[in-house]
Chains A and B, each alone.
Chain A
Amino acid sequence: MSALLRSLRDGRGFDAALACLALAYLFAFSAFPLIYNIAMSFQEVDMFSLGDLIRPFVGLANYKTLFAAPEFWPIMANTVIFVVLCIVFQLGIGFGLALFFQQDFIGASYLRGLFLAAWIIPALVAGAIWKWIFAGDFGVLNYLLLSSGLINEKIFWLSTPAISLYSVIIANVWLGIPFNMILLSVGLAGIPKDMYEAASLDGAGPWKRFWHMTLPMMRSTLGAVVCLGIIFTLQQFDLFASLTQGGPANASNVAQYWSWQLSFQNYDIATGSAVSVLMLGLVIVVAFLYVRSTRQEHRA
């Protein structure tokens, strides 16, 4: 006992205790629920058996119900479209802005930081603002598009099934731009300036310099940013809640919102858990890639 106390006071035990405290907390409130979730996806769970510790085991029945549901594949396709388009536009616009703010002018870094003002406000509030901007009859977006002649009649952004998912994508791209831009700026700042000077002396134009120097040097940063982007896009819930609630008729529904709806609106907790298990599996694969890419960078 005294050896343990001494180790805590003087030695390695102190660090181990500090790290273990946090790990214990994370195990209790993150890892354990995760494992519990996997277990629940193989059980029969409803509002009546919610409080029971032992529930009937149903094998893959929940997954069978899930795959047989007519909305399953459309929602999965929506999830993929949502993630891919969000990443492409966030990254593209974010990268463009990062390159622009890399130039030398007064207040460049300060103005760049101000973009984060949109990122810091609660996503649910951002959703509310966008809902008002998207409003069909009195929305400012329709007004701007009509008066610039881009469209001929008002678009009902949130209630048209073919469009509603893209409206959420627009709002999410808007939310994600600053984070992408700031992280990419860090990567750009790490590229030595004299390399560019040498290249221009050798006659490389801006496009060549970007293609043959900037992009290859940014590879690891881009990898990390894409992984983080996928993770954050799969976490997006608040925008769906405030903009479309997955509607109309699941046209804008994605897996992470559907899982919650199944559990807390349809009280079909078992199927909701099954959706989470599928999604969490995907998230963990992406996270694994992210952690590996950043750790290599750290070692180097």
Chain B
Amino acid sequence: MKRYVLLVIALGFLAIYLFPLYWMYLTAFKPSSETFTFPPRFWPTDPQFNFAKVFVEKKMDVYLWNSLVVAVGTTVIAALIGTGAAYALARVRSVWMDVALFLILMMQVLPPSLMATPIFVLFNQIGLIETPRFAVILAQTAKVLPLYIVLCRTSFMQIPKELEEAARVDGASRLSAFLRIIVPLARNGILVTSVLIFLQSFGEYVYSRTMISQENLQTATVGLMNFMGPNTTDWNGIMTYAVIYVTPIVIVFMLLQRKIVSGLTAGALK
């Protein structure tokens, strides 16, 4: 009996906590006339489907595509550079590796809004601002690479050293043992971390806002801010935009929830 009471209380907490997300979905489904009624309605009486209209009007295909380019680019570079480093840091115990890990953890904490100024000036001087999406990818990779390394490192630490040693006895080089034995075994950890990095980069804002000036190269976060403007009234449209943007993220999260949670907790505290 007590367990059911606890379950009901837990559902209550969750409902209160996730109410803002409900409010976003509800507003998106309301007709614009009903958006501005006071008292507000808490249930859709006459659901509208403005999604296609907002998608086309707000050129969301362009914005979402740019966000996708940034997120995929960031994830690919972080995975290419970070996987090896995570492995090396998990395998080797030496003073140098401790120093390296310390430096990497320190890099993790730099706030992007404070790094935006020097990165912008630097990229401007070497001409990277000419390819703004690539510039954002490089900056965002630097932001997420430490987290990638820290999270991946824990999955490499769980692989027994003996497996690799056996392959080495059979004559495999370090590189082929790494690529053929170790990476496939750590596949799950690498994938979950990559998804997490991808989701984070898909919502990136500071660097995109700072470095991308051409509208057709801007990301979905910047597009949303352009839409919101200083004196917004079209809340119905904004919430519809938000729903289109956020729903795929929420679905990916629901599918991978367990793995994301365990990956996150393992990395942040160890």
Contacts and interface: CB of A to CB of B under 8 A. Distances in A.
Interface of A: 8-12, 14-16, 18-19, 21-23, 25-26, 28-34, 36-37, 40, 45, 50-51, 53, 97, 100-101, 103-108, 110-111, 113-118, 120-126, 128-133, 135, 137-138, 140, 143, 147, 174, 177, 182-183, 185-187, 221, 224, 228, 231, 234-235, 237-238, 241-242, 256-257, 259-260, 263-264, 269, 272-273, 275-276, 279-280, 283-284, 286-288, 290-291, 294-295, 297-298
Given A40-B118, A40-B121, A128 B23 contact: no
B253 A116 contact: yes
A1 B6 CA distance: 67
B124 to A, nearest CB: 6
A16 B88 contact: yes
Given A23-B100, A100-B13, A105-B7, A116 B261 contact: yes
Nearest to A24: B81
B239 A19 contact: no
A21 B84 contact: yes
B257 interface: yes
Contact of A287 (B105, B112, B124, B246): B105
B169 interface: no
6 contacts: A18-B88, A113-B258, A137-B38, A263-B120, A264-B117, A276-B117
B120 to A, nearest CB: 8
A140 B40 contact: yes
B221 A122 contact: yes
A14 B178 CA distance: 10
B225 A111 contact: no
Contacts of A37: 114-115, 117-118
A279 B110 CA distance: 10
Interface string B147-186: 0010000000000000000000000011100100000000
Binding site secondary structure of chain B: helix
Given A23-B104, A291-B106, A177 B268 contact: no
A216 to B, nearest CB: 17
Contacts of A276: 114-115, 117-118
Interface in B1-48: 2-4, 6-7, 9-11, 13-14, 17-18, 20-21, 23-24, 27, 35-40
B100 to A, nearest CB: 5
B133 to A, nearest CB: 15
A150 B228 CA distance: 30
A182 B261 CA distance: 8
B224 interface: yes
Interface of B: 2-4, 6-7, 9-11, 13-14, 17-18, 20-21, 23-24, 27, 35-40, 81-82, 84-85, 87-89, 91-92, 96-97, 100, 102-122, 124-125, 138-139, 141-143, 145-146, 149, 173-175, 178, 199, 202-206, 209-210, 221, 224-225, 228, 235, 238-239, 242, 245-246, 249-250, 253-254, 257-258, 260-261, 264-265, 268-270
Nearest to B121: A50
Contact of B228 (A106, A128, A263, A283): A128
Contacts of B92: 12, 15, 19
Contact of A125 (B116, B210, B245, B269): B245
B113 A280 contact: no
Given A116-B261, A120-B249, A291-B106, 20 more contacts: A14-B178, A19-B97, A22-B145, A30-B115, A33-B115, A50-B124, A100-B6, A103-B6, A116-B257, A118-B18, A128-B238, A137-B38, A138-B235, A237-B113, A238-B206, A241-B225, A242-B228, A259-B114, A275-B114, A287-B105
A273 B141 contact: no
5 A-B pairs with least C-beta separation: A122-B203, A22-B85, A18-B84, A29-B142, A33-B118
B24 A129 contact: yes
Nearest to B103: A23
Given A121-B246, A121-B250, A132-B23, A111 B14 contact: yes
A20 to B, nearest CB: 8
A34 B114 CA distance: 9
A33 B119 contact: yes
Contacts of B112: 235, 237
A121 B145 contact: no
B30 to A, nearest CB: 11
Contacts of A106: 3, 7
A9 B176 CA distance: 9
Nearest to A8: B174
Contact of B118 (A34, A129, A174): A34
A58 B125 CA distance: 21
B107 A26 contact: yes
Contact of B270 (A34, A121, A294): A294
Contacts of A138: 35-38, 40, 235
